[in-house]
Amino acid sequence: MNQHAPGHDWIAIVRKNGTAEFGQAFAPNPTLDASVLGGPCVGVEAIAAFFAATSGGMYETIEFTHETTTGRKTYLEWQGKAFGKHVVGTTILTRNTEGLIEHIQLYHSPLQVVVEFSRELAKRLEAESRSGFTD
């Protein structure tokens, strides 16, 4: 059983974004599906771009409130503020048999925040794409 606060291990991975250690947490060709995206992010570089964009001030606060691991899946519940509005969500991590992350599911609520978050995220990812990011 995890002796840390909920989300501790996941936050540690996300904070390593941009380093080799971040990439080492993932299986080959991992995917991220999110309610704020029009389609999946495929590959470590695309997932890294997603987290780089979202960690750059899109959330005013975020706190993981519950964590449960069953088999290869870890379920994380969180809450916070984005754009001055209350937001809640769930992150589901699926690991392969070696313990590497192969799939991330990330869901935000309520719809008003999903729409606003999605629009801002698209702008940020487009700007990053224009500045030289390729997936």
CB atoms within 10 A of CB 101: 21
Res 41 pLDDT > 90: yes
CA gap 106, 54 in Å, rounded: 12
Which has the closest alpha carbon to 65: 88, 84, 83, 82?
Answer: 88
Confidence band, pLDDT 50/70/90 cuts, at residue 57: confident
The per-residue pLDDT for 134 is: 42
Q: Are 22 and 44 in contact (CB under 8 A)?
A: yes
Q: Which residue has the higher pLDDT, 116 or 129?
A: 116
| Domains of the chain as residue ranges with CATH | 8-111 (3.10.450.50)
Helices (H), the chain: 8-15, 20-24, 44-54, 111-130
- pTM summary value: 0.89
Strands 59-70 and 101-109 turn out to be unpaired
